[in-house]
Amino acid sequence: MKRDLEAMSRTAYDLVIVGGGISGASIAWDAALRGLKVALLEKEDFAHGTTSGSSKLIHGGLRYLQNGELALVRESLRERRIWEMIAPHMVFPLPFLLPTYGQGMSGKLIMSVGLTFYDLLSYDRNRLDDPDKKLPGYKTVSREEALEIMPSLKKEGLTGGKIYYDCQMFAPERLCLEFILGAAEQGADAANYAEVTGFLERPGGNGKRIEGVRVKDRENGKEHEIRGALTVNASGPWADKLMGLAEENPPRQLIRSKGIHLITRQLSGETALAVKSEIGGHFFVIPWRGHTIIGTTDTVFSHEPDAMGVTEEDIEKFLLVVNDGLPGLGLTRGDVQHFYVGLRPLIDETPEEGTKDSYNASREAEVFDHGEKHGIDGLLSALGGKWTTSRNLAEEVVDKAAKKLGRKLKPCATESTPLYGGAIKRFRPFLDEAKQRHQRYAPDIIDNLGHFHGARMDDILEIAGTEPKLEERLDDQSPDIGAQIVNAVRNEMALHLDDALMRRSGIGTLGRPSPQLIGKAAGLMAEELGWDGARREQEIARLSRYFSTKPSGTA
C-alpha cells in the first residue's frame, strides 16, 4: 500500500471516501470488493480518532434493550458473529459478570429476563466452524463465586451474579487497517495525512453537484484535487464539520460523547465486569492483553473535536466513580498505567432548547443523501453507528452509492470474505502450526505476530530474515520485532513514529514503551525514511503526547 496523492489527483474515482476510521475503512473494503474504483482520504493517520478510542468490544449492546432498541441489538448480535468469522485473529469471546442486587432492575429476576432475551436475539451466535469462538448462553453464579471473580464488589445486598458472553478486539487500530489494506489489494487508493479542505462543485439539478474534494497534503503542504462521481462523508465526530464545507447550515448535527478509559494492572482475571456506581452510572472492567481497561465515561463534549484529550481532572473524577462502584479496590492515580479517549459521534435528535444527553442517545446509524432534500447531489454522509455495526453500515452505504451511480454491482461479500489477515479456519491450531514452522523464534513472538498479522505473518518473517537486527526484539520485554516497524513503513503507510507504535503494532497502547524500544524503533524508521538526528528526536517528542494529559479546560 503506497501513498501517492499526485497519482490520485490524476485518477477518476467512483467513490471518494473522507475519513479513515472504521466507517470509512469498511466502506472502502466493501466498495472495492464490488468493483468500484475507490479513494480513501484521512486527515490524520488511519484509525487515529474514535476508532482507536473504543472499549475494544464487539458487543450486542445489552443495555440498549432497556431503550427498546431491539433492531439495533439484533443487528449488533448478528454482526458480532460475522466479526468472529472474518477476523478470527482479532475478535475473541469474552465473559462478563453482572453482579445482582436486591429485587429491582439489578435483581436476579430482571437480569435473567433480559439475558434470556439477549440469548434469544443471538440465536445464530454459534453458527461457527471454530469451537473456540462459540459463545455459551448466560449462567447464574452465587454470591461467593461473584466475589471470587472480583472481591471488591459492593457486598451489601449482593445476591450473586450472571455471566454472559460478548466479544473483544485484540487491537482495533490494526483491525481497521486490515480493511484498508484489503481494499488497497483490490485496487483502492488511500492516503493518510490528507486533509479535505473543500468540495469541488458545479451547478446541477436544483442546486449543485459535488464532483470531488480539495485536499491538503499535511506532510508537504501541497494542494490536490481528487475527483469522484460520488463523495462519501465518513468522518465520524467531524462529519457535521465536513458537511459545513458544502452548506452553511448542515442538515444533521452530532452530539459528541467523550469517553475516557484507564488501563491498570490485571484486576479480574479473564472475566469482564459491568459495574454500577451511584455517582457515575455504569462502567466496564475489561481484561485486555494482560492488563485491565476501565471505561468508559459518557459526557457531552462541546469543544472542537480536534481539541479532545484526557486531563488529570478527568482521571481523578473517573477514579472516584470506579472506587464508588468497587469500594474495596482503592485505585489511585499511581495505578493508572495508561489512559486514552474517544469521541462517539451520535446523531442529535434533541428537541430545540433541549438538554443534550449522550448516554441515552441512540447508537443507530444513518446514511444521509444530501441530494434528496438539500439540492447537493453527489454527496452521502454516513452518520452515527458504532464499531460493531460498521460493516453493516458500509453495506448500506455502498448499496445506496450503487443506485446513485446507476451501477449494477456484485452483491456485498464482506459478510463472508476474510479480512486481510483473516484467512484462518481455526486460530489456535493456526498458531500451534506456526510455532512448529518457526521454531527459531520464541513462542511469544509468534503469538504476537499471529494476533496482529494473522495469515500474513509470514510476510513479516520474510522481512525479518533479511537482516539479523530485524529478527531481534525491540526490547528485552517486548514480543515485537524490528521487522514489524520496517513493514509498517514499507507496506502500511506509517509516516511517523506514533503511526508505527500506536496503530500498526499496538506497542504503545498499553502505556509508554521503554526508552530502549522507542530508540530502536525510531532508528529503524530513520533508516527507512531518511530522517536526520533532529527529525528522529522530533518524532520521539511527538510520540510523548499519547502519554501526557492535557491542561484542564482544554479537553
Residue 179 has pLDDT above 90, yes or no: yes
Q: Residue 50: helix, strand or coil by DSSP?
A: helix
Mean pLDDT, to the nearest integer, of 474-500?
97
Query: What pLDDT band is residue 359 in, cutting at 50, 70 and 90?
Result: low
Closest C-alpha to 59, from 125, 131, 149: 125
Count CB-CB contacts under 10 A for residue 542.
Answer: 12
Give the span between the Cα atoms of 42 and 219, in whole angstroms. Answer: 12
- In degrees, to the nearest 5, what angle opens at C-alpha 530 toward C-alphas 529 and 535? 95
Q: What is the CA radius of gyration of the chain?
A: 23
pLDDT band at 68 (very low <50, low <70, confident <90, very high): confident
Q: Which three cell numbers stand for residue 274?
A: 459491568
Residue 185 in contact with residue 121, Cβ under 8 Å?
Answer: no
- Yes or no: say if 329 and 322 are a contact pair by the CB < 8 Å rule: yes
Residue 327 domain-assigned?
yes
156: number of Cβ within 10 Å = 8
**Span 489-532, pLDDT tens digits:** 999 999 999 999 999 999 999 999 999 999 999 999 999 999 99
Considering only CA atoms, which of 197, 235, 237 is closest in space to residue 217? 197
Mean local confidence (pLDDT), 475-496: 97
Which range, of 369-383, 427-441, 530-544, averages the lowest pLDDT? 369-383
Identify which of 487, 292, 511, 251 has the alpha carbon closest to the alpha carbon of residue 383. 251
- Report CA-CA distances (Å) from 109 to 112, 115, 143, 275: 5, 10, 15, 18
Q: What distance in Å separates the CA atoms of residue 113 and residue 117, rounded to the nearest whole number?
A: 6
Question: For the segment 383-418, what is each residue's pLDDT rounded down to a tens digit?
Answer: 988 999 999 999 999 999 999 999 999 999 999 999
Considering the domain architecture, whether residues 246 and 274 belong to the same structural domain is answered as no
Rounded Cα gap, residues 340 and 349, in angstroms: 28
Residue 248 is predicted with a pLDDT of: 82
Which cell is 20 given? 479513515
Residue type, 320: L
Question: Both 193 and 338 in a single domain?
Answer: no
What's 390's DSSP letter? H
Q: Which of 323, 347, 371 is the last residue of a domain?
A: 347
99 phi and psi angles, rounded to 5 deg: -70, 145
pLDDT for 57 beyond 70: yes
Query: Cα(433)–Cα(424) distance, rounded to whole angstroms?
Result: 12
**445 three-class SS:** helix
Compute the average pLDDT of residues 31-55.
Answer: 97
Distance from C-alpha of 335 to C-alpha of 338, rounded to nearest angstrom = 9
In this predicted structure, the answer to whether residue 356 has a pLDDT above a threshold of 60 is no
Phi/psi region, residue 150 (left: phi>0; alpha: psi -120 to 50; beta: rest), is beta
pLDDT digits (tens, 9 = 90+) for 5-16: 999 999 999 999
> Does residue 449 share a domain with residue 306?
no
pTM score of the predicted model: 0.96
Distance of alpha carbon 160 from alpha carbon 430, whole angstroms: 38
The candidate with the shortest Cα–Cα distance to 376, out of 226, 198, 197, 211, is 211
> By three-state DSSP, how is residue 371 classified?
helix
Q: For residue 63, is it within any domain?
A: no
Q: For residue 463, what is the domain's CATH number?
A: 1.10.8.870
β-bridge partners, 341: 260
536 plus 457 within the same structural domain:
yes
555 band by pLDDT with thresholds 50, 70 and 90: confident
Could you tell me if residue 128 is inside a domain? no
Residues 435 and 480 in one domain: yes
Cell numbers for 9: 489527483
* Residue 422 resides in a domain: no
* 432 and 536 part of one domain: yes
Same domain, 320 and 393: no
Q: Strand runs (DSSP E) across 8-127, as ranges?
A: 12-18, 38-41, 57-58, 91-101
E-strand stretches of 252-350 = 254-264, 272-277, 281-288, 291-295, 299-300, 338-347
265 & 180 share domain: no
Q: Is residue 151 part of a domain?
A: no
The length of the chain in residues reads 555
Residue 360 has pLDDT above 60, yes or no: no
What does the pLDDT average to over 367-390?
92
The answer to whether position 487 is within a domain reads: yes
Give mean pLDDT, residues 454-458. Answer: 98
Domain count of the fold of the chain: 3
The reply to whether 165 falls in a domain is no
Whether 212 is in a domain gets the answer: yes
End-to-end CA distance of the chain: 34
In this predicted structure, the answer to whether residue 355 has a pLDDT above a threshold of 60 is no
Whether residues 391 and 452 share a domain: the answer is: no
Is the pLDDT at 352 greater than 90? The verdict is no
Half-sphere exposure of 436 (CA within 13 A, CB side): 6
| CB 45 within 8 Å of CB 499 | yes
181 and 241 both lie in a single domain: yes
- Is the domain of 203 the same as that of 270? no
- Same domain, yes or no, for 276 and 303? yes
pLDDT of residue 18: 98
Looking at residue 235, its pLDDT comes to 97
pLDDT digits (tens, 9 = 90+) for 114-156: 999 999 999 999 999 999 999 999 999 999 999 999 999 999 9
Q: DSSP H helical segments within 222-357, as ranges?
A: 239-243, 312-325
DSSP string, 199-232: EEEEEETTEEEEEEEEEEETTT--EEEEEEEEEE
Domain residues for the domain of 17 are 5-50+173-253+360-405
Q: Across all residues in the chain, what is the average pLDDT?
A: 94
